[in-house]
Amino acid sequence: MDKDNYITSYGFIATIIVTVVGIGIFSYPRELAAMVEGDVWLETIIAAFINLILLKLVVAAIRANGFRTITDIIKTKFGSIIGAVILIIMCLPTFFAVSLGMRAFIEVVKMYLLSKTPTEFLIAITIIAGVYIVRGDVKTNIKFNEITLWIMFVPAFIVVLFTLNHTDYTNILPAFRQDIRSYLYALPTAAFAFTGVEIVYIVLPKLSNKKDAFKGIRYSIIFIAIFYIIISITSIAVLTTSETKKLLWPAIDLIRSIEIPGAFVERWDGVVMCLWVIFFFTTFSNGFTYSAYILSDALPLRDIRFSALILAPFIYLVAMYPNNITELYSVIHLIAPFNYVINLLIIPLFLLMLGKSKNNNTRGEEA
Amino acid sequence: MALVLVFMCIFLTGCWDKVEIDRNAFVSVIGVDVGKDIRNKKALEDVKPGEPFGERDLKRLNVTFAFPDISKYTSQNPEISSDKFVKTPAYSMEDALSNAVSKSSRTLNLGHSELLLLSDELLQYPEQIKEIADFLSRSPLVNRTMYVVMTEGNVEEFFNFNIEMEKTLGTYLTGLMESSKRNASILPVNLNEFLILLGDNGNAIIPAIKIDKDKNEMLIDGIAIIKGYKHVGILSPQDTTVVEMLRGKLISGKKVIYKDKVPIDFEIDNLERKIKVTEDNGKLLFKINIDIEGRIKEYKVDRELFYDDTIEEIEKYFSNSLSEEGQKIARRVQREYGVDIFGFREQITKFMPSTWEKVKGDWEKAFKDAEIDVNVDVKARRIGTRK
């Protein structure tokens, strides 16, 4: 295999999936059910389409620039100083998203698992674990993603199977009864649940089979959408719409209300929570890698290990910033649009326009 | 090397959340009763939100936590001999918990509780029930699969009651709930279902238990109906089977008719319920169609069942008797309590959203005025091993 194009299609799909599916899945059913009640599935499908269109744009932009790395493209187009500024702007939303996501994760952990352990300590050790994996460069990360994909989703689907005898799927009815405005308002929330897709900027240039890049993206987005739909619909089927709207993390309470007849283990939520630590950690490690990777070229540090160390204290500071859970979620909702507008709309459009004019060698297209 | 040492010092020095199993008391039953200050509404009326309140000693609730006494538990004698109790007056559930912790040598762990008992007197105070429901729903540690039961009389009486079959109240009552698959006169409701029902509109149904003082027995006493967070009435154990049938939840149960002075026992194996709603000039008509499959268990030794006509006749009698019974109870619940425990509201909201828009303003009135028609169709599939 080519030394530079080492990512397999499976690694590519796994990376997108584990990066996108994170701690947001716990609150996703509530956020959407609050706006569109049982029509969560519809909203998720539309959101997945929007993301696919945006990602198509990203793939086209990178293709037009000959599949070079994003830092390379931007630096040659804009020069090293303006390029560096643009790169930093690109990595900032992701950086904020992972830092705040970390805080949300820690809040869940503190609520259900380790109530007396100080927040600072939990954040610090998660960052250190993150730094450790980021130092291994993108390659390590991809391998890690390939392994965790199975660890994450096999138990998750098994858990959903256990809920089946408590479900009443008619709870998602009535369908299509909401105000058209609530569908529109809910759309950004649903679309932003796919935050993390910007990871394609750094994995795409290293993909071995670039021809089928978009196919891989399509598979992963469909997978994520199906997973979101299953979790949301099961939450509503078990807890009803009105209860789903009231609980902070319906997906967790869904597991808490499982009772397996005859099973010798009670309270499955503890087991599942431990497994789902990985859900967060992959989101974090990939987002962290993305930020560190771009930052290392922007500054220029030339080594992802330095940039990871530079970012670590800032992640800590951002994660500690929100005063409480309410503030945390309002800040998270504030950051998400920036990520989409900058990384998935403005940058690809720019690259597409500039790329067309100087379309030189397309590296690895035929590989 | 130095770095490794520094890290070891920082990260291997302590564990904040360590749990010593012998310092924990795993609460099996939570009993909530009224305290002596519950009527004293004035005490709280003139308290402003910013005022220091903590010092006030208000005993609005009486909470009992029961946990198995595991001190005598050994591998040779693996038996829990009895329950231990911590009883405390408190102004709220959280206060009760912290009081109980300060009274006991162990940390109370609510994660494995099996049963929540609410006294009927407490269920006369909707505000308190709302607070308790909030506590139970907000706390991440409470076991959402524990059963909820109403006690007729003081909760304390039930804790002190000497049960013959089991050593602890928790095992006895949860055992009863779980055997409901065989005996339909009890309707088990777990905390999750209870919170969902209450959260919707303050209405719920939970099983009720009472103590028969003459016979010195603890009995299941049917279903307590809660309306607007308040206990409004009780349905007898005989009615419970019918209510479960109307809710389409009955898994198994027994029914009897008398033909030629002989009781014929019929065991229900399977049940399917369908609700049809029609609207006529703003008046709702609910049609409950129930299909029952089952087997005939007992007849008379000098008679034979093995004829198409006989079976058909018996099926007809059962269908009529069950339809009438269902109709009667549905009417009673509708007229007397005005609480929709059959799932009509869900049916309308889910399948007839435009009708729901019309009636949601005054659903209770619409429900009370509605016509209910119960139609049961019984099929005897098996007759045992005799002609």
> DSSP string spanning A170-215?
GGGPSTT-S-HHHHHHHHHHHHHTTTTGGGHHHHGGGBS-GGGHHH
- Confidence band, pLDDT 50/70/90 cuts, at residue A363: very low
**pLDDT tens, B148-200?**
999 888 888 888 887 777 777 888 888 888 776 666 677 888 898 899 888 87
The CA–CA distances, whole Å, from A100 to A39, A134, A247, B156 equal: 28, 18, 20, 48
pLDDT at A224 over 90: yes
Give the residue on B whose Cα is nearest the Cα of A115: B17
Mutating which of B142, B349, B357 best tests the A interface, going by the most A Cβ atoms within 10 A?
Answer: B349
Q: With 0-12 CB in 10 A as exposed, 13-18 as middle and 19+ as buried, what is B51?
A: exposed
- Residues B89, B103: Cα–Cα separation, whole Å: 12
Sites in chain B below the pLDDT cut of 50: none
- How high is the pLDDT of residue A52? 92
The pLDDT mean for chain A works out to 85
Count how many pairs of residues, chain A against chain B, have C-beta atoms within 8 Å: 59
- In this structure, which amino acid lies at residue A120? E
- How high is the pLDDT of residue B269? 83
pLDDT at A169 over 90: no
- Nearest-5° angle of CA A143, CA A146, CA A149? 145
**pLDDT tens, B341-377?**
888 888 888 888 888 888 787 888 888 888 888 898 9
Q: With 0-12 CB in 10 A as exposed, 13-18 as middle and 19+ as buried, what is A151?
A: middle
Rounded to 10 deg, the angle between the A137-163 and A269-298 helix axes is 150
- How high is the pLDDT of residue B141? 82
- Residues A325, A283: Cα–Cα separation, whole Å: 20
Assign domain A9-349 one CATH number from 3.40.47.10, 3.10.580.10, 1.20.1630.10, 1.20.1740.10: 1.20.1740.10
Distance from CA of A157 to the nearest CA of B (A): 21
Contacts of B140 in chain A (CB under 8 A): 111-112
Classify A267 in phi/psi space as left (phi over 0), alpha (psi -120 to 50) or beta. Answer: left
Peptide bond into A155 cis (omega under 30): no
Give the residue on B whose Cα is nearest the Cα of A117: B16
- Kindly list the structural domains of chain B, giving each domain's residue range(s) and its CATH number in brackets, ordered by start: 23-38+57-235 (no CATH), 247-382 (3.30.300.210)
* Residue B277 CB-half CA count within 13 A: 23
Give the residue on A whose Cα is nearest the Cα of B10: A121
- Is B196's CB within 8 Å of A173's CB? no
Question: Does A165 touch chain B if contact means CB atoms closer than 8 Å?
Answer: no
Contacts of B112 in chain A (CB under 8 A): 266-267
- How high is the pLDDT of residue A225? 94
- Nearest-5° angle of CA B123, CA B126, CA B132? 80
Question: Does A177 touch chain B if contact means CB atoms closer than 8 Å?
Answer: yes
The predicted model scores a pTM of 0.87
Q: Find the Cα–Cα–Cα–Cα dihedral A108, A111, A115, A117, rounded to 10°.
A: 20
**pLDDT tens, A103-113?**
988 888 888 88
Contacts of A123 in chain B (CB under 8 A): none
- Is B349's CB within 8 Å of A174's CB? yes
Partnered with residue B289 across adjacent β-strands are B274, B375
- Is B199's CB within 8 Å of A242's CB? yes
- Is A111's CB within 8 Å of B140's CB? yes
DSSP state of B299: -
- Confidence band, pLDDT 50/70/90 cuts, at residue A357: low
